[in-house]
Structure formats: C-alpha cells, structure tokens
Amino acid sequence: MSLFSKQFNKVKSKTESVINRSADRHIRLAITGLSGAGKTAFITGLVHQLLFSATKTKDSNLPLWHVAREKRLLGVVREQQPDLAIPSFAHNAAMAQLSSELPRWPESTRNISELRLAIHFRPQSGVRGKLFDKSKLLLDIIDYPGEWLLDLPLLKLNFVEWCIEQQSRIAILSQQTGYKTFIEEMQKLDFASEMDLLVLERVAKQYQNLLTTSVNENGYYQAQPGRMLLPGDLEGSPLLTWFPLIHLSKPELEALSSRAEDNSYFSILKQRYKAYLDEVVKPFYRDHFRHFDRQVVLVDCLSALNHGQTQFTDMTQALSGVLNSFQFGQTNWLNRLFAPKIDKLLFVASKCDQITRDQQSNLLYLLNDMLSETQQLASIKGCDVETMAISAIKVTRHGLVKHQDQEVEVVEGRVDETSDVLRIFPGEVPRTLPQADFWQKQGFQFNNFQPPISFANAQKLQLEHIRLDHLLQYLLGDKLD
C-alpha cells in the first residue's frame, strides 16, 4: 500500500469513527398501539422485509424505499440488542408460527421487547457518499404496550383527584360482570378503618377483573392503571393491588384524606397509588420513552368499528390519551421529567388487507378524522406527524367478482381454523367519524383472517405487505441518503 493510500485510509477511518458516533447512525424506533393493534405482526413483517430485501438481487420487494430501489442496500443483519435487561423480540418464534403446519398469527405479547438490526448501505451523496463506499445504520426496534401511555395523566393527579376522575368510567365498568360485587364490597367497607390485607387484595382483584373483562371481552380500550391489563412481573405485587374509590363523593374523599390514620385502607391505597407512579409510570418515561427517536402508533380502526359505537368512542378517547405523551412542547412538567426527542410520529391504520382496495383510502381518512377530533395534533411541536394505512403481513388476496352485471371488489382469505378460503365483501369503511345512523345500519363485518395454508412448512417464507416500503421511506429514508 502506498504512503498516500495509508494516509488516506487513516484519515478515512478517523472520519468514519467520528461520523459513526454521530446520532445519524443510530435510530431507536418505538412501536406501540393498544392491545391487539398489530404490534407483534408489524415488527415481524417489517423485520422480515428488511432481512429479505437485502438478499434480493433483482426487483426489490420494497420499491418505494429509495435505498432498496436504488440498489444501495448492501445487507441487513440482526445484531446483539443494546439493552441486555429488555426481553428480545421473538422474531424467529413469530415466523415459526406463521409457517407452522396450520399457519397462525404470533401470540399476544405482554411486555416491552427489543431487537437490533444493522442496515449496511451505500451512501448516495454528500460528504459521506464521497468518503465511504459503505455505511451502517443501527436500527433498534422497541415494542411496548400503548396502555402504558394511558397512565401519563395520573402523574398530574393525586389519589383523590384520580378517584373523582374515574367516576366517569362507571357507565362502562357497570356493564361488566362482577361490578355489583365490587361496588357492594366497597360500600360495606369503612376506608378510615384499619386495613385488612386479604380484603384489600380481594377488592383489588375484583377491580382488575372489571378492567380486563371490559378490554379483553367487551372491546373497550381505556383502563387505569394500565399495568393491571398487562401486569407481567408485577402481577400480585402491592404496586398493582389498589383501586379507585369511585363510590364516594368529593367531600367524602376529602374528609377521608384529612382524618385517615396511616394504617387505614385509605392511606394504604393512597400510598400504593403514589408508589405506582414513582416505581412504574415514571421509570418507563425516564428509562425508555425519553430515548426513543421515532415512534409508530398502530391503530386497529376496523376492530373498533366491529365492536360498536361506545367502544369506538372509547378508542378515539384512548388515542387522545396516547397523544398526550407527545405534546411535550407545551407540557413543561413532562419535559422536565423525561425531555423526549422524538422527531417523527407516525400513526398507522393497521391490517388494511382485511378490506377491499377501494376502501383503503377511507380507512386513512377515518384515522385522520379520529386524530383531528382529539384536536391535539396541532399542539405537537418540533415533531413531524404523518398517517398511513398499511398491512404488515398481507394474508388475503384482493379480487373482483361479477355481481348483477357489475364488478365488485372482494377479499379472499382463511377466516377460521380450517383451510377453507372464503371470498368476502367486508363492507364499507366510513370516511369520517361515524354518525348515529351509521351504527344503526351496521353494513359491515371486518374479519380477522388467518395466515394462508400456503405458508405452512415453507422453507423460505416470503411474506407480502401493503405499503411497508412507503413507511420505511418515511421513517428511515433521511438516514440512508
């Protein structure tokens, strides 16, 4: 090697290490959404497309992703994740389920998980393009339950204020089985008296059951505290053994607050409420949320429509709750707590392969309408907000059938555990927030399709998607130029 090239390589590697250390070479991409929104399927599909597209020599399966279209993608590999204490995202297990004997969706997940990919690419232009023929972007993908974001408002409320606020949930809680027992038990108790641990645990369990039934069985979305739905390691711990006193008026609660002894039910509930905020809610924002660079929020509008009007309204409100966490420009107390740095926020209507092609733009309009209803988008400062409708793993086929001399769009897929394929017209997606008459007509049923039998035992499963390339260009395009 000549002296010149030695010198040049020295300069080059020095510069490379400087650039490597800059923020541009590393992205923490967080994926969230309420229970069942499609987070696990989304990450599985996205990672699959990334790993797969790097092996394609001919046409890219991600044509709208510039780095792939321009054939600058050199390789994508999984690397060791940076946070050793966070469970790894189970990508291989998810792929194994999709290609099992009877293909099925990956199982529901309960906790935060993470995975790191290294995207090797050829820079296109600019200083980096001139200096290097190869560059690397480290992409950390983090999956966490959206319910965790719904706990944020608790940080602004003390226990009494929170109990009063939870009274607005009585209409929904009272529809759940077990509500009568819960409320009667609370009415019998003197909350100023000495706490009996067994009673406290019993009533807390009843409250947790009300929340889980409302979400898992009756299609509601909001539940506080959010960890009661997905307790993970906290199951049964004092941090999750408490409940709101929704049967007491404000003066009654204030009187309790001033006279209750330290060992009373009231004081212990208050203490546990505070401990939950300090030991569960705040650490999430401090240790995780604060470090995210970009955020995807998945929204399953179709299931919410299936559930009905009150559930759909609940989902819109829950979305507003989720948006709260991103309004850092205005909420200074939040800024002090975790000074977030998210610069792109993407709301995604998921599972759009469940509807006919002509309805997909309606789905996007509907999501936009739900978000503008919350009137919070305008107050998100310093962060680019975008919306899209996608399918991370397309398991249906779209086609046309003749019906009374007209061509009608249909969706074909497997709707149950058998291998039968059905051809369905799922119905129309409303273009705007549905009005009362829409719910009376009920002209739709959006099915949960199963992965096709053709996935079974596939050696090299090649998944299809809808618009993941467009999504990748939005989320990563600027980092791969």
91 binds Mg ion (CB under 5 A): no
Nearer to ligand GTP, 145 or 321 (CB): 145
Q: How far is the CB of 36 from ligand GTP (least distance, A)?
A: 5
Nearer to Mg ion, 87 or 477 (CB): 87
Q: How far is the CB of 258 from Mg ion (least distance, A)?
A: 44
How many other C-beta atoms are found inside a 10 Å radius of the C-beta of residue 465? Answer: 20
Nearer to ligand GTP, 344 or 351 (CB): 351
Per CB under 5 A, the list member of 33, 38, 39, 123 interacting with Mg ion is 39
What's the CA gap between 324 and 333, in Å, rounded?
Answer: 12
Nearer to ligand GTP, 95 or 189 (CB): 95
Nearer to ligand GTP, 28 or 48 (CB): 48
Q: How far is the CB of 99 from Mg ion (least distance, A)?
A: 18
169 binds Mg ion (CB under 5 A): no
**Dihedral, CA atoms, 349, 353, 356, 360, nearest 10 degrees?**
20
109 binds Mg ion (CB under 5 A): yes
What's the CA gap between 256 and 278, in Å, rounded?
Answer: 23
Q: How far is the CB of 33 from ligand GTP (least distance, A)?
A: 5
Q: Order of strands, edge to edge, in the sheet holding 73-79?
A: 73-79, 113-121, 135-143, 26-33, 294-299, 344-349, 384-389
C-alpha angle 61/65/66, rounded to 5°?
A: 120
- Residue 214 is given by DSSP the state I
Q: Which residues contact 367 (CB under 8 A, 6 or more apart)?
A: 299, 301, 347, 349, 387, 389
Tell me phi and psi for residue 267, to 5 degrees: -65, -35
Binding partner of residue 391 among ligand GTP, Mg ion, none, CB cut-off 5 to 8 Å per kind: ligand GTP
Q: How far is the CB of 87 from Mg ion (least distance, A)?
A: 12
Q: Are 36 and 354 in contact (CB under 8 A)?
A: no
What's the CA gap between 447 and 6, in Å, rounded?
Answer: 63
Nearer to ligand GTP, 103 or 106 (CB): 106
44 binds Mg ion (CB under 5 A): no
97 binds Mg ion (CB under 5 A): no
How many other C-beta atoms are found inside a 10 Å radius of the C-beta of residue 118? Answer: 13
Q: How far is the CB of 449 from ligand GTP (least distance, A)?
A: 5
**Residue 225 preceded by cis peptide, ω within 30:** yes
- Residue 195 is given by DSSP the state P
Binding partner of residue 340 among Mg ion, ligand GTP, none, CB cut-off 5 to 8 Å per kind: none
Q: How far is the CB of 70 from ligand GTP (least distance, A)?
A: 27
Q: How far is the CB of 109 from Mg ion (least distance, A)?
A: 3
Nearer to Mg ion, 100 or 442 (CB): 100
Nearer to ligand GTP, 260 or 392 (CB): 392
What's the CA gap between 364 and 429, in Å, rounded?
Answer: 10
Of 120, 115, 43, nearest in space to 76 by CA = 120
Give the rounded distance of the alpha carbon of 79 from its chain centre: 23
Of 178, 167, 247, nearest in space to 210 by CA = 178
Per CB under 5 A, the list member of 32, 35, 40, 241 interacting with Mg ion is 40
Q: How far is the CB of 217 from ligand GTP (least distance, A)?
A: 14
What's the CA gap between 18 and 13, in Å, rounded?
Answer: 9
Binding partner of residue 105 among ligand GTP, Mg ion, none, CB cut-off 5 to 8 Å per kind: ligand GTP
Burial environment of residue 228 by CB neighbours within 10 A (0 to 12, 13 to 18, 19 or more): buried
Q: How far is the CB of 360 from ligand GTP (least distance, A)?
A: 12
Assigned token pair, 237:
């711990």
The DSSP bridge pattern shows strands 135-143 and 294-299 to be unpaired
- Window contacting Mg ion (CB under 5 A); options: 106-114, 148-156, 348-356, 389-397: 106-114
What's the number of CA atoms in the CB half-sphere (13 Å) around residue 13? 5
Q: How far is the CB of 409 from ligand GTP (least distance, A)?
A: 16
Nearer to Mg ion, 40 or 311 (CB): 40
- Could you tell me how many residues of this chain bind Mg ion (CB under 5 A)? 3
Binding partner of residue 33 among Mg ion, ligand GTP, none, CB cut-off 5 to 8 Å per kind: ligand GTP
Nearer to Mg ion, 39 or 91 (CB): 39
- Window contacting Mg ion (CB under 5 A); options: 2-10, 108-116, 216-224, 424-432: 108-116
- Residue 292 is given by DSSP the state -
**Could you tell me how many residues make up the chain?**
481
Q: Are 374 and 319 in contact (CB under 8 A)?
A: yes
- Window contacting Mg ion (CB under 5 A); options: 104-112, 288-296, 344-352, 448-456: 104-112
Nearer to Mg ion, 113 or 222 (CB): 113
Residues at the interface with ligand GTP (CB under 6 A)? 33, 35-41, 105-106, 108-109, 145, 350-351, 353-354, 391-393, 395, 448-449
What's the CA gap between 266 and 253, in Å, rounded?
Answer: 9
User: Which positions lie near Mg ion, rule CB under 5 A?
Assistant: 39-40, 109
